[in-house]
């Protein structure tokens, strides 16, 4: 499989991964809005929200790396023997 094809598959997989993560993040954000400040669940919900955000940032960074153009292999000039 060619490198360009492999990168497209990676981008597609990351997009597919980001969609449910974004949906879960939205649901957790709603829980945060509805959760009472004195709820014993609040710290856990905040932690879940923070970790989901971290995963989304990791996915975004990998997607960014996968979009970068591939550099051409460097060509070296062969020098004659001295």
- Output the pLDDT for position 74: 58
- Please give the Cα distance from 49 to 28 (Å, whole number): 6
Per-residue three-class SS string for the chain: CCHHHHHHHHHHHHHHHHHHHHHHHHHHHHHHHHCCCCCCCHHHHHHHHHHHHHHHHHHHHHHHHHHCCCCCCCCCCCCCCC
What pLDDT is recorded for position 13? 92
pLDDT of amino acid 4: 81
Give this prediction's pTM. Answer: 0.71
Spans of the chain, pLDDT less than 50: none
């Amino acid at each position: 499989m060619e490198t360009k094809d492999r990168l497209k598959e990676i981008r597609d997989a990351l997009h597919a991964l980001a969609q449910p993560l974004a949906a879960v993040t939205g649901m957790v954000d709603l829980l945060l809005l509805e959760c009472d400040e004195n709820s014993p669940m609040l710290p856990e919900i905040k932690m879940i929200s923070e970790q989901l955000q971290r995963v989304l940032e990791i996915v975004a960074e990998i997607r960014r790396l996968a979009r970068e153009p591939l550099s051409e292999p460097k060509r070296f000039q062969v020098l004659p023997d001295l």
